[in-house]
Amino acid sequence: MKTYYFLLLLFLAGACNAQTPTFTKPAEMPLGFEEYDPVSTLKVPEHKLKKAKFPFIDVHNHQFQMDKGDLRPLVAQMDSLNMQVMVNLSGRGWGNLEENTRFFTAALSNIQKSEPKRLILFSNINFDDIGKAGWTEEAVKILADDVKSGAKGLKIYKNLGLNVKDNTGKRVQVDDSRLDPIWAKCGELGIPVLIHTADPKSFWDPMDRYNERWLELKLHAGRKRSANNPVPWSNLLVEQHNVFRKHPKTTFINAHMGWYPNDLNKLDSLMKVFPNTLVEIGAVIAELGRQPRASKKFFEKYQDRILFGKDSWVPSEYATYFRVLETDDEYFPYHKKYHAFWRMYGMGLSDDILKKVYYKNALRIIPGIDKSQFPQ
């Protein structure tokens, strides 16, 4: 009997093996997260805008060739977007003081002889040798001279707070008292300070499966920071907010919505505390587009304190901004997967608010822009 059952089991096993199909995975499987990019089957109205509805001022742009060459091709690209005025925040370019002074002078001259109404420069602070005797006084004088020559504002890069060190090797905090005369001078001159402090908080968070910026950090490893590199993320923003608090007579443009576009309640509280601040939307449109109802309410509430900015100069990417701001479109992709793997929705802002965001608010706080270029 035992032999019978043994033979029966062998028979059944053979039969099962004979009937089991062999599964061969497609060559492209399995997909990694980086590769997965499904095409939506959703059928809804689409409005893929190429130009802004109204002429606009981009308050956050960077151009490093304005000191030489023909500026007409750049202006032609601006025309294709309906960009009326570009603010080049990198007015002094890069390099040491002598090099960036040469760049500023040459760029300003090139603009004046070709497109003075369409292109404007902000000045920058060269932090080399900060801490040495007379550094602050010289920095204030250079700023005043730049404004007298034609600069319309001051741009502070994120290196302040992150890696700027003084002559003793110590990290220079954003709210370092040696910089107070600079902020005060901007208020006295009537020019805004566009200040970029820190980066998205996710860059300080663990790079694990819970981090929304995981793919970006994988592709751009240099953006990852440890929890205390150089200090916690929250410390940097506290330093920035101290500057706003100490200088209520100076107008500050908080770049990238102060890195709170994903927490509009927090940003709302900061806007209340610091009435001398505005925000610009450069590089954070994906955050706004995934919460269109909350974003629209925020824009309605702070319509007089929001500016249009893009940051990196890639003309084709402006379409995403126009679509989020102007349309009621649903579930459309961002232009860079590694910034936002989610889909976005349009806010459908009113014409009155669009005009303020696109140009009216900038005209109010940035001196010397020809207002005749814009509708009432």
pLDDT digits (tens, 9 = 90+) for 101-116: 999 999 999 999 999 9
pLDDT category of residue 161 using cuts at 50, 70 and 90: very high
On whether the pTM is more than 0.85, the answer is: yes
Which of 171, 233, 246 is closest to 203 using CA atoms?
Answer: 233
Buried b (16+ CB within 10 A) or exposed e, 239-264: bbbebbeebeebbbbbbbbbbbbbeb
Task: List, for residues 166-201, the tens digit of each pLDDT value.
Answer: 999 999 999 999 999 999 999 999 999 999 999 999
- In a domain, residue 42? The reply is no
Counting the structural domains of the chain, the total is 1
Percent of the chain topping pLDDT 90: 86
pLDDT for 82 beyond 80? yes
pLDDT category of residue 32 using cuts at 50, 70 and 90: confident
Of residues 68 and 247, the one with the higher pLDDT is 247
Helices H, strands E: what count in the chain? 14, 11
- In a domain, residue 121? The reply is yes
Instruction: Work out the mean pLDDT of the chain and round it to a whole number.
Output: 92
- In a domain, residue 26? The reply is no
CA angle in degrees (0–180, nearest 5) for 25-30-33: 165
The 8-class DSSP code of residue 185 comes to: H
- In a domain, residue 14? The reply is no
- In a domain, residue 220? The reply is yes
- In a domain, residue 11? The reply is no
- In a domain, residue 136? The reply is yes
pLDDT for 4 beyond 50? no
Q: What is the CATH number of the domain that holds 66?
A: 3.20.20.140
Q: What is the pLDDT of residue 31?
A: 76
Host domain of residue 262 = 54-369
Q: What is the pLDDT of residue 339?
A: 82
Q: What is the pLDDT of residue 35?
A: 81
The 8-class DSSP code of residue 75 comes to: H
Which of 287, 296, 297 is closest to 343 using CA atoms?
Answer: 287
pLDDT for 326 beyond 50? yes
Distance CA 152, CA 194 (A): 11
Long-range pairs for 358-361: beta carbons < 8 A, 24 or more residues apart: 358/52, 358/53, 358/54, 358/55, 358/56, 358/57, 358/308, 359/54, 359/55, 359/56, 359/57, 359/84, 359/85, 359/308, 361/278, 361/304, 361/305, 361/306, 361/307
pLDDT category of residue 26 using cuts at 50, 70 and 90: low
Strands, E assignment, the chain: 56-61, 83-88, 119-121, 123-124, 154-156, 193-195, 252-254, 277-280, 306-307, 332-333, 343-344
- In a domain, residue 261? The reply is yes
